[in-house]
Amino acid sequence: MSLLPQPTGSGAAVVLRTWPSGETSVIASLLTADHGPLRVIAKGARRPHSALRPLVQPGFLVEVEYGLTPGRQLQYLRGGTVVLDPLATAPTLERHAFLLAAVELADRCPLTAARGGELYELCHDYVRVLSCAAPGQEALLFYGFELSLLRLQGLCPQVEACTVCGRVVAIREPGTWFVPGGGGLVCGDCRRQEGAAEDPSGLATAGRALPREVRGLLRRLASAPPAADPDDSPPARWAVRELGILLHRFQEYHLPGYRLPAALGLLRPAQAAGPPSATRKECEA
Ligand SMILES: [Zn+2]
């Protein structure tokens, strides 16, 4: 055993995912502010009184000390403190599900270490805002997070101008369409023309109607970082649900290996979250 001091790092991190290891330990995927993504092993963290136990809870913001031994894929988690348990004040099912879903997406995000700092900031801000969100705002915050994550990867959907003719489309203009493979908005004129030309690009079949309420939500989220404003009247539930479907389809098309975050399954019996099977009928109701 080497007697040389092992290199260590310390600082803020978001816990993204955890796995049990052996009898009592936990492996955790951390997103650190200073060293990007890091896999650590927390020895004995599943013992009831372990000091490491609260540091390996998915979605928690922590200040931790960890090893940085070169060449080692799994570093040792040495200690630290919890900065924010986002479920402490209101451990609701919605908050839980949308917290875990976001950190799961962040854990899968293939960004290089060079952008780890930005990804950390995004996750940190999301966890903070979600931790004090009013009931009912969780889903919209999560979709804002998904959009920000897409933007970080250079993949934000176009919702201002038509992706076919380039014309800026007024928010009240009817008949707009959302085509994931086309990159976003398609105006009614282009949609009709594509349909008349026997649908050579598949626009008529691959897209989905984009009601102005949903477009308004997309624009609102795309232009500003998500924030929880208790005075905001919550948008219509069908519009939020439809927004979730559009973003799911967009990610399915543009992100290789994308799949719905498993945590959203927690919401399925109570409400059809994520990309549920909402129909046009429901949307127009
Ligand atoms: Zn057009």
Return the pLDDT at 271.
52
Count, in order, helices (H) and strands (E) of the chain.
8, 8
Neighbour order of strands in the sheet with 177-179: 184-186, 177-179, 208-209
In 3D space, the residue among 122, 46, 52, 60 whose CA is nearest the CA of residue 91 turns out to be 60
**Predicted confidence band of residue 194 (pLDDT cuts 50, 70, 90):** confident
Report the amino acid identity of residue 62: V
Q: How far apart are the first and last CA of the chain?
A: 69
Q: Measure 218 CA to ligand 1 centroid, in angstroms.
A: 18
**Cα separation of 222 and 168, whole Å?**
16
In 3D space, the residue among 100, 125, 140 whose CA is nearest the CA of residue 264 turns out to be 100
For 37-79, what is each residue's pLDDT tens digit?
A: 999 999 999 999 999 999 999 999 999 999 999 999 999 999 9
Q: Measure 125 CA to ligand 1 centroid, in angstroms.
A: 36
Cα dihedral 149, 58, 38, 129 in deg (nearest 10)? 40
Return the pLDDT at 198.
55
Report the amino acid identity of residue 30: L
**Predicted confidence band of residue 33 (pLDDT cuts 50, 70, 90):** very high
Count Cβ atoms below 10 Å from residue 256 Cβ, excluding itself. 5
Return the pLDDT at 276.
47
Q: Measure 172 CA to ligand 1 centroid, in angstroms.
A: 15
Return the pLDDT at 277.
46
**Encoding tokens for residue 143?**
């979709």
Q: Measure 165 CA to ligand 1 centroid, in angstroms.
A: 4
Return the pLDDT at 146.
96
b/e string for 102-130 if b means 16 or more Cβ within 10 A? bbbbbbbbeeeeeebeebbebbbebbebb
Count Cβ atoms below 10 Å from residue 34 Cβ, excluding itself. 13
Q: Measure 182 CA to ligand 1 centroid, in angstroms.
A: 11
**Cα separation of 245 and 252, whole Å?**
10
Q: Measure 282 CA to ligand 1 centroid, in angstroms.
A: 26
For 1-18, what is each residue's pLDDT tens digit?
A: 556 778 999 999 999 999
Count Cβ atoms below 10 Å from residue 283 Cβ, excluding itself. 18
Element (DSSP H or E) covering residue 213: helix 212-223
Mean pLDDT for the chain overall: 87
Q: Measure 76 CA to ligand 1 centroid, in angstroms.
A: 55
In contact, 36 and 117? CB cutoff 8 Å:
yes
Q: Helix, strand or coil for residue 95? A: helix
Q: Measure 162 CA to ligand 1 centroid, in angstroms.
A: 5
Q: Measure 250 CA to ligand 1 centroid, in angstroms.
A: 19
Q: Measure 163 CA to ligand 1 centroid, in angstroms.
A: 7
User: Has residue 283 got a pLDDT over 80?
Assistant: no
For 115-169, what is each residue's pLDDT tens digit?
A: 888 999 999 999 999 999 999 899 999 999 999 999 999 898 998 999 999 999 9
Q: Measure 164 CA to ligand 1 centroid, in angstroms.
A: 5
**Encoding tokens for residue 273?**
């979250």
In 3D space, the residue among 93, 211, 94 whose CA is nearest the CA of residue 141 turns out to be 94
Report the amino acid identity of residue 3: L
**Cα separation of 8 and 31, whole Å?**
16
Q: Measure 185 CA to ligand 1 centroid, in angstroms.
A: 8
**Cα separation of 64 and 53, whole Å?**
12
Return the pLDDT at 281.
41
In 3D space, the residue among 269, 267, 197, 209 whose CA is nearest the CA of residue 243 turns out to be 209
Q: Measure 194 CA to ligand 1 centroid, in angstroms.
A: 10
For 226-282, what is each residue's pLDDT tens digit?
A: 555 545 567 889 999 999 999 999 999 999 889 999 999 988 875 554 554 444 344
Element (DSSP H or E) covering residue 178: strand 177-179
